[in-house]
Amino acid sequence: MSNLIDIAIAAHGGWERWEKLNTISAHLSVGGAIWPIKGFEGAYADIHCTVDTKVPLTRFTPFLKDGQTAVYRPHETAILSDGAVIDSRQEPRAAFAGHGLMTPWDEQNLIYFTGYAMWTYLTTPFLFRHPGFQAEEVEPWDEDGEIWRRLAVTFPADVASHSTKQTFYFDATGLLRRHDYSVEIMGGTTSANYASDYKNFVGLNFPTKRRVYRTGPDNRPDRSRTSVSIDILNLSLA
């Protein structure tokens, strides 16, 4: 493992503080160009998301209707109403077979994508110490005159995410600034996810703003259109 992991974990609040956590709950406002394409414009404009810090598990409420909760696990997605399961899907990633960027989604598709995405975002960089992750520091990157160190990370098979291989960029202080991946369940993309507006929540530092852009062959973002926007309005740790 690269020492960049240790630097990043320290910058985000430290392993000792992280180990005391069980859940992260965030009040989110999510937008961007992808949601109308998928048939869910405004679905997460005002949503509460809770992730488990120990295992991949995400909940969203209210999910599409008052009284409904969406639950994500890597091998199952479900919709609950007043605590009872009203719809679910086993092995939800298989349902994306043949999908491309323009393919509309159903509700279980939406839960799966947003569930693994938010779990990844809220647990980075601490998730790199979970069993099965492999990380290697690669050549640094010049982002508009700033030199960012980069970590190439291979995700284990039992942790669902955008792609098996992803790249994370850290500034001189060790804070995450950019996160690159290919969204495999959309047929493959070239995406750069920028993290900014850091705030401290009970000893841990989280970016409260994320913006995702398509990147070109030069690895530079096309900022003319925001694919996904995520704003953390509030966050609590338990």
Residue 225: per-residue pLDDT: 97
Q: For 12-61, write each residue's pLDDT tens digit.
A: 999 999 999 999 999 999 999 999 999 999 999 999 999 999 999 999 99
Residue 216 has pLDDT above 80, yes or no: yes
Among candidate residues 203, 201, 229, the one with its CA nearest the CA of residue 25: 201
Our count of domains for the chain comes to 1
User: Encoding tokens for residue 197?
Assistant: 């507006």
Domain region containing 182 = 3-237
The CATH number for 58's domain is 2.50.20
Can you read off the two tokens belonging to residue 103?
Answer: 């393919």
Which pLDDT band, with edges at 50, 70 and 90, does 2 fall under?
low
Q: What is the mean pLDDT of the chain?
A: 97
Per-residue pLDDT of 61-84, as tens digits, reads 999 999 999 999 999 999 999 999
Q: What is the pLDDT of residues 103-121, one digit of tens each?
A: 999 999 999 999 999 999 9
Q: Is the pTM of this model over 0.75?
A: yes
**Beta bridge mates, 232:** 28
* Residue from 161, 159, 168, 52 nearest 113 by CA: 161
